[in-house]
Chain A
Amino acid sequence: MLTEKGRQQQASKLQTTSDNGATSEILLPGAEAPDFRLRVTPDQDLSLSELRGRPVIVAFYPADWSPVCGDQLAIYNEVGPEFQKYRAKVLGISVDGPWCHKAFAEHRSIHFPLLSDFEPKGEVAKSYGAYRHTEGVCERAMFVIDKDGVVFWSYLSPIAVNPGADGILDALEGLQRKEQADAA
């Protein structure tokens, strides 16, 4: 669920895209990323604000158990060492429950946290403009959030297209260049 701070942080939604009649408006760069606390294992929570101080990649996706072996999460799993070069933490979020995530993560050897936007259903995804109301699942939406909790880059992929990881890596590079320039 959104934390209290997250509720207060609701930013304006500006980007739209349409896909089979459904529209979603995801948060754009510059928006404060709404804080949230979600189940990461059946008995543990994780909040976005705990990760302040490093870039965070938030990847919303429709559901666990996609039949495709090289799906979106598998790619992030393989690219993990590259994300670590930027000290970036990747979080996957869907509306699946924590036991589903646990089984799925074990089956696919997924090494990053999968969070359950389960109750209230899709509340966090909605706050990021990343919820498909027609089907009741998250969009394929990705956000790179900087160390201060501000969205640096976001992208909404058509639901049927696996977006890969190149956009995220380009964004992390861009973020690193920006932070180096700011520090100079």
Chain B
Amino acid sequence: MATLKVPVGPDDHVQGNAKAPITLVEYGDYECPACGLAYPIVLAVQKHFGRNLKLVFRNFPLAQVHPNAESAAETAEWAASHHQFWEMHDALYENQAMLGLPLYLSLANGLRLPEEELSAALENRIFYPKVRADFMGGVRSGVNGTPTFFINGRRHDDSFDFAHLVASIDMVLEQAGTS
């Protein structure tokens, strides 16, 4: 059973109740169709579990097959430096078909963030080390495709459809309740 090797920490992007009993970590690629499918599912899972779940997103770009995956990830990390990570993350997945610099600049503009700063950050790959560190942490944790989910540190090996994710999380919640 593959387990998360990099514990969730202060450099992570966390959404939801910080004290939630369930931590759902998603390793994702913004250009991956499967991750695009997972995006609304994860939203539904978050809604379903409410305060019992916090979501962590980490980058796992498959740069060799997805030419925009890294730049999209870096764009989201740049938005994080302006405390707008989740807004940018969501916007990228909602516009997956149009990933590329024009989209990133337009999204930055929509979030009232400085486009020139984003442009420079992408050109100088300022956020590449963070993206690559996420990626290698994922590899070491046994990430075996995108998206890969970890529920309280254990890799979810079942389908990522709503029913299977909920069932796996319910099982962990139950065990936590009886321990």
Contact = CB atoms under 8 A, between A and B. Distances in A.
Contacts, number: 67
Given A69-B33, A69-B34, A77 B139 contact: no
B66 interface: yes
A180 interface: no
Contacts of A51: none
Interface in B104-136: 135-136
A82 B133 CA distance: 12
Contacts of B142: 163-164, 166-167
B139 to A, nearest CB: 5
Interface string A160-174: 011111110100000
Contacts of A79: 139
A53 interface: no
A69 B66 CA distance: 9
Interface residues of A, number: 23
A72 B65 contact: no
A57 to B, nearest CB: 14
A122 B145 CA distance: 26
Name the prevailing secondary structure of the B interface residues.
loop
A163 B155 CA distance: 12
Contact of A166 (B33, B63, B141): B141
Contacts of A123: none
A30 interface: no
B136 A70 contact: no
Contacts of B146: 69-70
B64 A74 contact: yes
Interface residues of B, number: 24
B145 A68 contact: yes
Contact of A82 (B5, B139, B143): B139
Contacts of A161: 144, 157
Contacts of B143: 75, 164
A70 B2 contact: no
A169 to B, nearest CB: 7
Interface in B34-89: 34, 60, 62-66
Given A69-B34, A109-B65, A162-B144, 5 more contacts: A77-B65, A108-B64, A163-B142, A164-B139, A169-B140
Interface of B: 2, 5, 29, 32-34, 60, 62-66, 135-136, 139-146, 148, 157
7 contacts: A69-B33, A70-B62, A75-B144, A78-B64, A79-B139, A166-B140, A169-B139
